[in-house]
């Protein structure tokens, strides 16, 4: 009986230790990045063309998609799940408000660095805002 209890205790201790090892980034960052980045999966409606794609989730948040977007053209207007690194940086060239020389009109739009895309549906649930 003592051997069984010792074995059960050892297995529980090992399981707890393994669980603690799965999430080592809590409270620390790996690099000194000035932007807020995190790996995540976002599901929503894909829009765009010519390498300029956006994904709008069910909450209405629109993400600018960066990276290798060559596989996305066939999914425009569809519900997709994109896995990648999201960032919410204030990527303005200059911090002077009212400048008209900016080429993009997306102040502080969240971005996602494309790592993987999965087709969910041929229609968008979150298309209407």
Domain boundaries along the sequence of the chain? 37-91+107-129
Question: How many angstroms separate the CA atoms of 118 and 114, rounded?
Answer: 11
Sorted by sequence, the CB contacts under 8 Å of residue 4 that are 6+ apart come out as: none
Helix and strand counts by DSSP (H, E) for the chain: 1, 5
60 phi and psi angles, rounded to 5 deg:
95, 5
pTM: 0.56
Classify domain 37-91+107-129 by CATH number. 2.40.50.140
| Tens digit of each residue's pLDDT, the chain (129 residues) | 889 989 888 888 887 777 666 544 444 444 444 556 778 899 999 999 888 999 999 889 999 999 988 889 899 999 999 999 988 765 444 444 454 554 555 457 899 999 999 999 999 875 444
């Amino acid at each position: 009986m003592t051997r069984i209890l010792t074995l059960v205790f050892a297995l529980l201790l090992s399981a707890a230790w393994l669980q603690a090892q799965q999430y080592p980034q809590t409270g620390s960052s790996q690099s000194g990045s000035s932007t807020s980045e995190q790996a995540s999966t976002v599901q929503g409606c894909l829009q765009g063309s010519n390498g300029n794609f956006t994904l709008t989730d069910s909450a209405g948040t629109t993400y600018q998609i960066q990276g290798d977007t060559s596989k996305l053209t066939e999914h425009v207007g569809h519900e997709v799940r994109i896995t990648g690194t999201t960032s919410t940086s204030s990527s303005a060239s200059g911090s002077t408000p009212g400048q008209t020389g900016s080429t993009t009109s997306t102040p502080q739009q969240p971005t996602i660095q494309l790592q993987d895309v999965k087709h969910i549906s041929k229609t968008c649930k979150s298309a209407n805002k």
